[in-house]
A and B are shown apart, each in its own frame.
Chain A
Amino acid sequence: VQSAREIAAVAAAWLIRVEREATPELWDALQVWIDSHPRHRAEFIRQRTAWNRCDKLKMLRPGDGTIDADLLSRIEFTTPEGEGAASGGRGRFGAGGDLRDGAVDLSRRGWLALTAATGIAILGAWYFALQTGWDTYRTAVGARQLVTLSDGSTADLNTGTELRVRMSPGRREVLLEHGEALFRVAHDPRRPFSVTAQSRVVRAVGTEFCVRIRDDDRVEVLVTEGRVALGMPGGPAHSSASAFGNGISMGEIAMLSDRKVDVRHVGTQELDRRLAWTSGRLAFQGETLGQAVEEFNRYNVRQLTIADASIRQMRIGGTFSSTDPDSFVAALEHSFRVAAIRAPDGRGVSLIARHRDAGGNEFHRSLRPSTVRPASPAARAGH
């Protein structure tokens, strides 16, 4: 039997290991370890939570793009007297020497101002010419791939994604053909990084954001760090700025449709949910069953269908492995009045409502005696 400390050490090693390279084999091995004891799973979640909390340290990054591995040793936290009472007890920090502004207010607004001060993201007409020199990256349905680009940026490709990349001395261009990708852009103010999706452009210098082309051709842009500009390539010169505003910042999501953009703020929890796919999970909280099924179908060849309109609007929550629709279906059957009918060829699952008659016996509406109809092959296979 392993001690708590030994389990903790193994969990930490796993966490860092999958951060380094996340191959499907590695994920499977991790899953085996996690499943082998309840303590393993709890400890892994505990450490993952603590480690993710450290991402807050990004707020300390200087806005001028300098990299300093000894930055933290020069930061002192102080709480000036009087100041604390005035700002509701909020502390301030000052960095010895390097940060030119001296004390910088660490509130979110102050930090964003800092980012904006670096002069990121200028909009302009952006002509996109199809030329040679493009590298193509593709993922199959259910697959995921982390690509490191030649400039040090990374692109995390979600299921069924295709993107093309071209690096040149003056610019870094990505063309998202379909699917979804999370970009972690290496800072380089002289070479703007732009992602084009469905004729919309997302531009950044050094930030982190996620771009997704939805089934209805709308483009969704979620910024998890820094700020990006939104625009259109080859449109009437400079008109894009007025059409799309100045862009969006960390914690904001933009939905771009034809010449319209809806921006709203997302909380930390929703942010985590929306990025759950980067660790192979799908997380729902209050989404309708219809939306959840649509999500699962992105990741799996075996498609789920809702054969019963009465359950489509049902609200659900939970975290699931994106490539394991069976667990999702099992959870639905367990917690809700939903029954699953599996197709005989194993290619699909229909979800229907489960009803109860006066005597308390459960039955499926489609099999109710009074509505007998020629049984479909799917229904026969389920029973």
Chain B
Amino acid sequence: VAINEERYLLKALEFEGALRAYLMGCTRDESQVEELLQETYARVLGAGSAPGPEVLSVRTLALTIARTVALQWLRQNRTLPIELVTGADACDIPEVSHLSAGPDHEGEIHDGERELSDLVTAIKALPEECRRVVTLRKVYGYSQQQIAARLQIPQDAVERHLTTAVLRSVEVRIGGDADQPGGTVRFRAFGKQGDRAERA
């Protein structure tokens, strides 16, 4: 029923640990992992607006897309003959079925306090002024203007600190992202696009 285009991406973000681990198996270059991850997310997002059956396991979808992205990158950058790249033995891009491509967690169990402590730990690691700005913003709900007034720093500085904090917050993993062994690639159709309205 849902035509929320962001739904696959929002789900896939919960599996960032698994995606990252997979991509690390493709290249050791960390900045390259960032590239591949961002491209993977962009395509997962695109899958959310493409017509077709609803994907049962977003985890598997995201890993499959990550593999495709990694393969394409390999083709473009290592100038290997395509036959070699697509042959199973010739490349170091692992098959998804060997990975933790199981179904999405049912009714995801969130360790809320673990997440909270991770967030606090991340913020404590920020430089002092940045930490104070984030605390006022996120713990006390101050506006940027109010923060600038209270700490007596220019509003541009507040903006800069918050931007730093946003980038840091992305690195805090969402809880319960452990790899699960086994599992196979599974897609299941919930019926054709046009039927959805009637089924609802």
Binding site for B on A (CB under 8 A): 3-5, 7-9, 12-13, 15-17, 19-20, 37-39, 41-43, 45-47, 49-51, 53-61, 67-73, 75, 77, 90-91, 93, 106, 148, 152, 154, 184, 208, 225, 283, 285-286, 311, 314-319, 331, 334-338
B20 at the interface (CB under 8 A from A): no
Query: Given the complex, which residues of A lie within 8 Å of B159, measured CB to CB?
Result: 13, 16-17, 20
CB pair A49–B10 under 8 Å, yes or no, is: yes
B9 at the interface (CB under 8 A from A): yes
CB pair A57–B119 under 8 Å, yes or no, is: yes
Q: Which of B10, B13, B124, B197 contacts A337 (CB 8 A)?
A: B197
* Shortest distance between the CB of B3 and any CB in chain A (Å): 4
B44 at the interface (CB under 8 A from A): yes
- In the bound complex, CA of A37 to CA of B5 (Å): 16
CB pair B115–A38 under 8 Å, yes or no, is: no
B45 at the interface (CB under 8 A from A): yes
- In the bound complex, CA of A42 to CA of B62 (Å): 13
- In the bound complex, CA of A336 to CA of B198 (Å): 9
* Shortest distance between the CB of B151 and any CB in chain A (Å): 7
- In the bound complex, CA of A56 to CA of B110 (Å): 13
B120 at the interface (CB under 8 A from A): yes
- In the bound complex, CA of A225 to CA of B196 (Å): 36
1/0 contact string of B8-42 vs chain A (CB within 8 Å): 01100100000000000000000100110111011
CB pair A8–B1 under 8 Å, yes or no, is: no
Binding site for A on B (CB under 8 A): 1-6, 9-10, 13, 31, 34-35, 37-39, 41-46, 51, 112-117, 119-121, 123-124, 131-132, 134-136, 138-141, 143-146, 150-151, 155, 159, 162-167, 169-170, 172, 174, 193-194, 196-197, 200
> At the interface, is chain B mostly helix, strand, loop or mixed?
helix
* Shortest distance between the CB of A219 and any CB in chain B (Å): 24
Instruction: Show 21 residue pairs from A and B whose CB-CB distance is below 8 angstroms, ordered by the A residue.
Output: A3-B31, A4-B37, A8-B170, A20-B159, A39-B38, A39-B39, A42-B38, A43-B42, A55-B138, A61-B139, A61-B140, A69-B151, A72-B120, A77-B120, A93-B117, A225-B141, A286-B1, A314-B197, A318-B3, A335-B51, A336-B196
- In the bound complex, CA of A184 to CA of B142 (Å): 10
* Shortest distance between the CB of A132 and any CB in chain B (Å): 28
CB pair B163–A13 under 8 Å, yes or no, is: yes
* Shortest distance between the CB of B173 and any CB in chain A (Å): 10
CB pair B145–A148 under 8 Å, yes or no, is: yes
> How many residue-residue contacts, CB under 8 A, span A and B?
189
- In the bound complex, CA of A285 to CA of B163 (Å): 31
The chain B residue sitting closest to A38, CB to CB, is B42
B4, B41, B116 interface centre (most CB from chain A within 10 Å): B116
* Shortest distance between the CB of A61 and any CB in chain B (Å): 5
The chain B residue sitting closest to A105, CB to CB, is B113
- In the bound complex, CA of A39 to CA of B9 (Å): 12
CB pair A16–B42 under 8 Å, yes or no, is: no
A67, A68, A69 interface centre (most CB from chain B within 10 Å): A69
CB pair A56–B119 under 8 Å, yes or no, is: yes
Q: Which of B4, B38, B131 contacts A72 (CB 8 A)?
A: B131
Given A16-B163, A47-B166, A314-B200, A41:B10 Cβ within 8 A: no
Query: Given the complex, which residues of B lie within 8 Å of A54, measured CB to CB?
Result: 119, 134, 138, 165, 169
- In the bound complex, CA of A285 to CA of B124 (Å): 37
- In the bound complex, CA of A316 to CA of B169 (Å): 33
CB pair B141–A208 under 8 Å, yes or no, is: yes
Given A54-B169, A154-B143, A285-B2, A5:B42 Cβ within 8 A: no
In the complex, the 4 A-B pairs of residues with the closest C-beta atoms, listed nearest first: A317-B2, A315-B200, A69-B132, A38-B42
Query: Given the complex, which residues of B lie within 8 Å of A13, measured CB to CB?
Result: 159, 163
Given A39-B38, A56-B115, A337-B197, A12:B167 Cβ within 8 A: yes
Query: Given the complex, which residues of B lie within 8 Å of A152, measured CB to CB?
Result: 143, 146
Query: Given the complex, which residues of B lie within 8 Å of A72, measured CB to CB?
Result: 120, 123-124, 131, 135, 139
CB pair A90–B120 under 8 Å, yes or no, is: no
- In the bound complex, CA of A184 to CA of B140 (Å): 11
CB pair B162–A16 under 8 Å, yes or no, is: yes
CB pair A70–B38 under 8 Å, yes or no, is: no
- In the bound complex, CA of A42 to CA of B116 (Å): 24
CB pair A91–B113 under 8 Å, yes or no, is: yes
Given A38-B42, A45-B10, A335:B4 Cβ within 8 A: no
* Shortest distance between the CB of A137 and any CB in chain B (Å): 17
CB pair B42–A75 under 8 Å, yes or no, is: no
Q: Which of B51, B120, B163 contacts A57 (CB 8 A)?
A: B120
- In the bound complex, CA of A241 to CA of B102 (Å): 52
CB pair B42–A316 under 8 Å, yes or no, is: no
